[in-house]
Amino acid sequence: MAHQAESAKEDETARPADGGDLSRRPWRPYFEASLGFRNHWYPAFFSRQLAEGECRGQVMLGERILFKRIDGRVYAIEDRCAHRGVPFSVRPECYTKNTISCWYHGFTYDLRTGALVAIITDPESTLIGKVKLRSYPVEEHKNLVFAFIGDEAPHPLILDLQPGFLDEDLAISPNGEQELVKSNWRLAAENGVDASHIYIHRNSALINVARRPLPLASYFTTREGMVIDKEGAPKGVIKGAGRKTSIWETEIEGVKIESQYRPGINTDSSSATDTSLWLPCGLKVNPFPRADTMQFEWYVPNDEQSHHYIVTWGKRVQDEHQAEQFFREMDVVWKDLVVHKFNNEDVIAREAMEHFYADEDGWNQEHLYRPDMVIAEWRRLASKHNRGIQRKPGTKAGV
Amino acid sequence: MAHQAESAKEDETARPADGGDLSRRPWRPYFEASLGFRNHWYPAFFSRQLAEGECRGQVMLGERILFKRIDGRVYAIEDRCAHRGVPFSVRPECYTKNTISCWYHGFTYDLRTGALVAIITDPESTLIGKVKLRSYPVEEHKNLVFAFIGDEAPHPLILDLQPGFLDEDLAISPNGEQELVKSNWRLAAENGVDASHIYIHRNSALINVARRPLPLASYFTTREGMVIDKEGAPKGVIKGAGRKTSIWETEIEGVKIESQYRPGINTDSSSATDTSLWLPCGLKVNPFPRADTMQFEWYVPNDEQSHHYIVTWGKRVQDEHQAEQFFREMDVVWKDLVVHKFNNEDVIAREAMEHFYADEDGWNQEHLYRPDMVIAEWRRLASKHNRGIQRKPGTKAGV
Amino acid sequence: MAHQAESAKEDETARPADGGDLSRRPWRPYFEASLGFRNHWYPAFFSRQLAEGECRGQVMLGERILFKRIDGRVYAIEDRCAHRGVPFSVRPECYTKNTISCWYHGFTYDLRTGALVAIITDPESTLIGKVKLRSYPVEEHKNLVFAFIGDEAPHPLILDLQPGFLDEDLAISPNGEQELVKSNWRLAAENGVDASHIYIHRNSALINVARRPLPLASYFTTREGMVIDKEGAPKGVIKGAGRKTSIWETEIEGVKIESQYRPGINTDSSSATDTSLWLPCGLKVNPFPRADTMQFEWYVPNDEQSHHYIVTWGKRVQDEHQAEQFFREMDVVWKDLVVHKFNNEDVIAREAMEHFYADEDGWNQEHLYRPDMVIAEWRRLASKHNRGIQRKPGTKAGV
């Protein structure tokens, strides 16, 4: 395209000038991570989605995983029998509490270790005690189940979470939403932290109900404060508060175009909203949708063309009673408004980008602009601080 | 296949002996043109399909194109924002007459030039005035909108049209049909000019109603007069009038097989029909379906597996009144008969060829025969006179 | 996966130690045969599925084949016209008994030879008598139509059939089932002869009705007697009768797990069932489902991801009357029970394996165990005694 050259200067603005490197080389690992990053924690589903003794199969980062809740605790192993590769979750069969038996030949695994502990159709098999399925470290907090996907010993969960998420006084709604969205996870993550995408929400019913100022977030115009990469803490980027706002007021062919709602004018709050994106794929929007709540999102890779979109809300409370009331209000008043009347616009945007990035070399053809500096920084941060690139199962090695 | 060798002689007949070259080498560019030819004019849709101020997205030759009608005139630019590649046509939004604003971040382009003229979410962006989307030359004639797809300055439209189409006294029905057909465009074009494919129409209701002689076209048995490649004029092939007819009368196992309708015998007309195919992809059938009308078709590449099939009719008239009457008659009496009871057979044939040519190396495995000489000449002509091979977007170059 | 090494010993058990070769090298030809083996006979359909004078198109081993019954005898040729590759079966048209004419241009072929004998639209074409479609040797026995797919002169059908199938006193039900199943044919064949897969049938209604002992088959623990590869006879493997039974009785976490039905205890028969698998892809289960009947199955490759599953039953009878009664009983009492309430479990298993073997390198990632010795032997036998690997049409040669 003829406009490649002209946009270089803008790209210069979008990317920090801390080395003069205008190539996209620092983003390469990110560009390769179509299935996400390895050796990180990811949310799998809400606690309510797995009752005691039940099993649940879910694909994450291209890996088929089986979850089972045993005595309240959730365990996870590969959701494919070592024998002939069928998924247990097609017909989950458990003879005992700690095991699952493959419905096909009775290969029986301990959910706690992945170890093959019995084969019903060949009780004396020498494979017993020797074969092991990959098992996944699992933790459950704040009504969400998390799995660690990788080969390393699990890193502390708190390093892979949005800061504050595990805070004791933070009540997290157990009734968030989980949905499969047809776009690569990176397009979703970038849309989440996108400093100016708020434009698509300008007619959202939520805006009218909440009377939150538009833009919901202002953004940084320099790199300062945008990147959070302290040693021993979550790594993320923040699109900036209290700096340049993305309020719009411009002219097109003499027609004045401007934001409908503005801080302090026709809204009931002028508080700025902070939106930040954290490795491996978690978003935090604070405050949102109410002045006293925050929203958490995750974009967990399913396969290269789709991701699990998980959304929930948090509020600082003093006791159980306040928490319950908060949950109820989210369910009754806010959930539909946020999920279906607001976030739905984001889902449309993510899916509308997919063709360009998947089939038209979008990663090299795109033209980032000034508000995308946070996306540029996210790519750099993710490229630098990820713990490994996830590869497609079965492509790693031969016999 | 064992029958390759035996058919060579027939291929010799099918292809002109003007160089003794029996290889398919002269057809190579055509074989590569799965997405069509670049730097030509193509019909996009009927004028009635785009009202004043409206937008319409359409894929042509694998390129996503956005059309907008402004003050009666149609303009076209890429249907993907330079920023993140989303199609404008998902949610077309126009703040002003001459522009479209991307629904995602408010990147605003002038339809007349493709230039980025404003960014609602960053009014002072340095990208404004620098980034340009590809814009497509558009012309509108005879109730059809045409776009020029390529890099060169647009050649005269008349060179890419069936001869006579733009004649002043030729009224063209505004109510033709447009349909997406699941076959490569070349299979459609070849079926259009195919000298003997009339065989599939032998039981068509149209034949019985129109009492047109079968075959509708006779065909050339030598190259003479078949190829029209005069300098500065449309390039095409004609399947021949007044030469050998493709009336059939043969015996199979002693059973006599013959055409049902024949010129001058049980039909009301003995006039021969001329069928011709023109670069880049337009067909003219004259006269058809009535003795005083002609039919125009186009097979515009959509992607490699499908094409836009466009059909309409023309008649020479003396005034507006005659034209209106003609349009009405086509709508009421002929359209359904031609489109659904006759051309539909062609659609079936095109789709039935697709598997062979797409998945079974059909371009090299086929066996052309004598009546296919016009197809052979078409391939040679198209290979020689096209102005470029269209390549898949995003495969052209890296950063 | 970390468990590769540990399972080697088991693989050692699963594969015969007749050369110490623990690699999978002896299975390589089998691993390449995703479309099946060439130069073998395959059942196509039941006789009742093709009436006198009728045509039927079917894909086998990736080849499109047209069948026609003429004077009681079935003939087969390619189901794609040599001219432009369309399938005749889209609109079969026969002007005479021994021919089919392509609906597109009237190319007419003799079903008995594949020869192009007339072209309705060009009766004097020099292609007539020269072009030939591939024709397929066909035989019809026991209410089934068989086709030989390959380049060699057809080998005796009896060498490609389960032993005894053609025996004069064996009545074969004409009302068996044919179904397209979405898995590679090899997964189906292996499931058929699988010594321990009977586990999936443990709750089958058939088991309760038939009161047949579970397991239906015992299996070999050594290679002796497992492989049948006598010169001039069908080549197959048998999962073993009268050796180790795959009755199960084991403990998982202190819970006793055992078979519900056992030979001679709560079943009405203690006769062991022999299950054997024969090149190219036929299974024999004897006796089954009744003590006086046997079941025949075939897994005929359709394309790489699917196979035709054909099932029928045989019984030794003394006269026509007994045969008729047997057919009636199978239709009324057994067919639904066997096909839909029992074999259906096998279909689920075959399809559940497909993803692992097609997309996750399952052929190299699987872990066979002791009862799979018969599968290991089948792979070795098939690799050694097949008459050629089938390749995808159109990939064989260029122009």
Reduce the secondary structure of C58-122 to three states and give it as a string: EEECCEEEEEEEECCEEEEEECCCCCCCCCHHHCCECCCCCEEECCCCCEEEECCCCEEEEECCC
| Pairs of residues, one from chain B and one from chain C, whose beta carbons lie less than 8 Å apart | 126
Which residue among A90, A120, A398 places its CB closest to the CB of C364? A398
| Pairs of residues, one from chain A and one from chain B, whose beta carbons lie less than 8 Å apart | 128
pLDDT value at residue C205: 75
Tokens of A275: 């939106």
Would you call C317 an interface residue with chain B, using a CB distance cutoff of 8 Å? Answer: no
pLDDT higher than 70, residue B11? no
- Neighboring chain B residues of A258 at a CB cutoff of 8 Å: none
B366/C134 Cβ within 8 A: no
Nearest CA-CA distance, residue C291 and chain A, Å: 24
Supply the DSSP symbol for C332: I
Q: What is the arithmetic mean of pLDDT over A116-125?
A: 92
Nearest CA-CA distance, residue C268 and chain A, Å: 23
Nearest CA-CA distance, residue A77 and chain C, Å: 13
Cα gap A226→A222, rounded to integer Å: 8
Would you call C249 an interface residue with chain A, using a CB distance cutoff of 8 Å? Answer: yes
| Contact partners, residue C348, CB within 8 Å, separation at least 6 | A90, A91, C200
A371/B85 Cβ within 8 A: no
Nearest CA-CA distance, residue C185 and chain B, Å: 21
- Neighboring chain B residues of A248 at a CB cutoff of 8 Å: 106, 120-121, 123
A183 touches A302 (CB < 8 A): no
pLDDT higher than 60, residue B143? yes
Task: Identify residue C197 by its one-letter amino acid code.
Answer: H
Cα gap A262→B191, rounded to integer Å: 61
Can you spell out the DSSP letters for B35-64? T-BSSEEEEEEEGGGS-TT-EEEEEETTEE
Position with higher pLDDT, C68 vs A6: C68
Whole-prediction pTM: 0.91
Which residue among B3, B13, B197 places its CB closest to the CB of C104? B197
- Neighboring chain A residues of C24 at a CB cutoff of 8 Å: 399
- Neighboring chain A residues of B115 at a CB cutoff of 8 Å: none
Cα gap B41→B160, rounded to integer Å: 6
Confidence of residue B7 (pLDDT cuts 50, 70, 90): very low
Would you call B266 an interface residue with chain A, using a CB distance cutoff of 8 Å? Answer: no
- Neighboring chain B residues of C92 at a CB cutoff of 8 Å: none
A84/C366 Cβ within 8 A: yes
Would you call C25 an interface residue with chain A, using a CB distance cutoff of 8 Å? Answer: no
What are the pLDDT tens digits along chain C (399 aa)?
333 333 333 444 444 434 434 468 899 999 999 999 999 999 999 999 999 999 999 999 999 999 999 999 999 999 999 999 999 999 999 999 999 999 999 999 999 999 999 999 889 899 999 999 999 999 999 999 999 999 999 999 999 999 999 999 999 999 999 999 999 999 999 999 998 888 888 877 777 676 665 555 556 667 778 899 999 999 999 986 545 555 678 899 999 988 765 555 444 444 567 899 999 999 999 988 988 999 999 999 999 999 999 999 999 999 999 999 999 999 998 998 888 888 999 999 999 999 999 999 999 999 999 889 999 999 999 999 999 999 987 654 332
Reduce the secondary structure of chain A to three states and give it as a string: CCCCCCCHHHHHHHCCCCCCCCCCHHHHHHHHCCCCECCEEEEEEEHHHCCCCCEEEEEECCEEEEEEEECCEEEEEECCCCCCCCCHHHCCECCCCCEEECCCCCEEEECCCCEEEEECCCCCCCCCCCCECCEECEEEECCEEEEEECCCCCCCHHHHCCCCCCCCCEEECCCCEEEEECCCHHHHHHHHHCCCHHHHHCCCHHHHHHCCCCCCCEECCCCCCCEECCCCCCCEEECCCCCEECCCEEEECCEEEECCCCCCCCCCCCCCCEEEEECCCEEEEECCCCCCCEEEEEEEEEECCEEEEEEEEEEECCCHHHHHHHHHHHHHHHHHHHHHHHHHHHHHHHHHHHHHHHHCCHHHHCCCCHHHHHHHHHHHHHHHHCCCECCCCCCCCCC
Q: Which of residues 89-108 of B touch A (CB under 8 A)?
A: 90-91, 95-99, 101, 103-106, 108
Nearest CA-CA distance, residue A31 and chain B, Å: 14
**Dihedral angle over CA of A170, A175, A181, A186, nearest 10:** 10
Would you call A203 an interface residue with chain B, using a CB distance cutoff of 8 Å? Answer: no
Helix, strand, coil percent values for chain C (each to nearest 5): 25, 30, 45
| Contact partners, residue C354, CB within 8 Å, separation at least 6 | C182, C183, C184, C187, C305
> Coil, strand, or helix at residue B353?
helix
Instruction: Report pLDDT digits (tens) over B291-307.
Output: 899 999 999 999 999 99
Cα gap B384→B374, rounded to integer Å: 15
B96/A252 Cβ within 8 A: yes
Instruction: Report pLDDT digits (tens) over B259-297.
Output: 765 554 444 444 567 899 999 999 999 988 988 999 999
C312 touches C178 (CB < 8 A): no
Cα gap B290→B337, rounded to integer Å: 12
- Neighboring chain A residues of B398 at a CB cutoff of 8 Å: 361, 364
Cα radius of gyration (chain C): 23
Position with higher pLDDT, C1 vs A181: A181
- Neighboring chain C residues of A98 at a CB cutoff of 8 Å: 253
Cα gap A10→C63, rounded to integer Å: 56
φ and ψ at residue A232, rounded to 5 degrees: 70, 25
Cα gap C77→C114, rounded to integer Å: 6
Cα gap C390→A159, rounded to integer Å: 53
Q: How crowded is residue A316: how many other Cβ atoms within 10 Å of its Cβ?
A: 16
Confidence of residue A260 (pLDDT cuts 50, 70, 90): low
Would you call B83 an interface residue with chain A, using a CB distance cutoff of 8 Å? Answer: yes
A395/C361 Cβ within 8 A: yes
Taken in order B119, B122, B128, B130, the sign of the CA dihedral is: negative
- Tokens 């890099």, residue located: B151
- Neighboring chain A residues of B132 at a CB cutoff of 8 Å: 2-3, 6
Would you call A399 an interface residue with chain C, using a CB distance cutoff of 8 Å? Answer: yes
**Dihedral angle over CA of B259, B260, B264, B269, nearest 10:** -110
- Neighboring chain C residues of B356 at a CB cutoff of 8 Å: 80, 84-86
> Coil, strand, or helix at residue C6?
coil
Mean pLDDT of chain A: 87
Would you call B125 an interface residue with chain A, using a CB distance cutoff of 8 Å? Answer: yes
Query: First vs last Cα of chain B: how many Å apart?
Result: 44
Taken in order A187, A192, A194, A200, the sign of the CA dihedral is: positive
Confidence of residue A239 (pLDDT cuts 50, 70, 90): confident
A371/B90 Cβ within 8 A: no
In sequence order, which ranges of chain B are alpha helices (DSSP H)?
8-14, 28-32, 185-193, 205-210, 320-329, 335-338, 344-359, 362-365, 373-385
C219 touches C195 (CB < 8 A): yes
A83/C6 Cβ within 8 A: no
B301 touches B286 (CB < 8 A): no
Taken in order B121, B123, B127, B128, the sign of the CA dihedral is: positive
Partners for C (CB, 8 Å, 3+ pairs)? A, B
Cα radius of gyration (chain B): 23
B76 touches B67 (CB < 8 A): yes
Which residue among C199, C360, C369 places its CB closest to the CB of A394? C360
Would you call C244 an interface residue with chain B, using a CB distance cutoff of 8 Å? Answer: no
| Contact partners, residue B41, CB within 8 Å, separation at least 6 | B139, B146, B147, B148, B149, B154, B155, B157, B160, B161, B280
B9/C121 Cβ within 8 A: no
